[in-house]
A and B are shown apart, each in its own frame.
Chain A
Amino acid sequence: MSLEFLNKSENESFARVVAAAFASTLNPTAAELAEIKTAVSEAVTNAIIHGYENSVGMVRMEGKISGKTVEFTISDDGWGIEDVKRAREPLYTGKPDCERSGMGFSIMESFMDRVEVKSRLGEGTTVKMSKTIEL
Chain B
Amino acid sequence: MEVKLLGEKRALLVRVTGELDHHMAAKIKEEVDSKMRSSNAVSIIFDFSDLTFMDSSGIGVIMGRYKKTRTLGGHVIAYGVNAQILRIMEMSGIDKIIKLTPTYEKAARLLDK
Query: Are A and B bound to each other?
Result: yes
B residues lining the A interface (CB < 8 Å): 19, 21-23, 25-26, 29, 53, 55-57, 59-61, 63-64, 83-84, 88, 91-92
Residue among B29, B53, B84, B92 making CB contact with A101, cutoff 8 Å: B92
Task: Determine the distance from Cα of A110 to Cα of B60 in the docked complex, in whole angstroms.
Answer: 19
With A34-B84, A102-B56, A103-B88 already in contact, 7 other A-B pairs whose C-beta atoms are closer than 8 Å = A9-B22, A38-B84, A41-B21, A45-B21, A99-B63, A104-B56, A107-B56
A101 and B60 contact, CB distance less than 8 A: yes
Q: List 5 A-B contacts (CB under 8 A).
A: A10-B23, A13-B21, A38-B84, A38-B88, A101-B57
Bin the interface of chain A by size.
20 to 34
B59 and A101 contact, CB distance less than 8 A: yes
Task: Determine the distance from Cα of A106 to Cα of B87 in the docked complex, in whole angstroms.
Answer: 13
- Give me the 8 closest cross-chain CB pairs, A-B, nearest first: A9-B23, A101-B59, A99-B64, A103-B56, A99-B60, A41-B55, A34-B84, A101-B60
Q: A residues within 8 A CB of B57?
A: 45, 100-101
B22 and A48 contact, CB distance less than 8 A: yes
Chain B interface main SS type: helix
Task: Determine the distance from Cα of A107 to Cα of B60 in the docked complex, in whole angstroms.
Answer: 14
Question: Nearest Cβ in chain A — how far from B54, in angstroms?
Answer: 8
A residues lining the B interface (CB < 8 Å): 9-10, 12-13, 16, 31, 34, 37-38, 41-42, 45, 48-49, 98-104, 106-107, 110
**Given A106-B91, A107-B88, do A101 and B56 touch, yes or no (CB 8 Å)?**
yes
Q: A residues within 8 A CB of B60?
A: 98-101
Q: A residues within 8 A CB of B64?
A: 99
B55 and A13 contact, CB distance less than 8 A: no
B92 and A49 contact, CB distance less than 8 A: no
A31 and B83 contact, CB distance less than 8 A: yes
Residue among A34, A42, A48 making CB contact with B56, cutoff 8 Å: A42
Which chain B residue shows the least CB distance to A91?
B92
Residue among A37, A102, A110 making CB contact with B53, cutoff 8 Å: A37
Task: Determine the distance from Cα of A31 to Cα of B82 in the docked complex, in whole angstroms.
Answer: 11
Question: Nearest Cβ in chain B — how far from A15, in angstroms?
Answer: 10
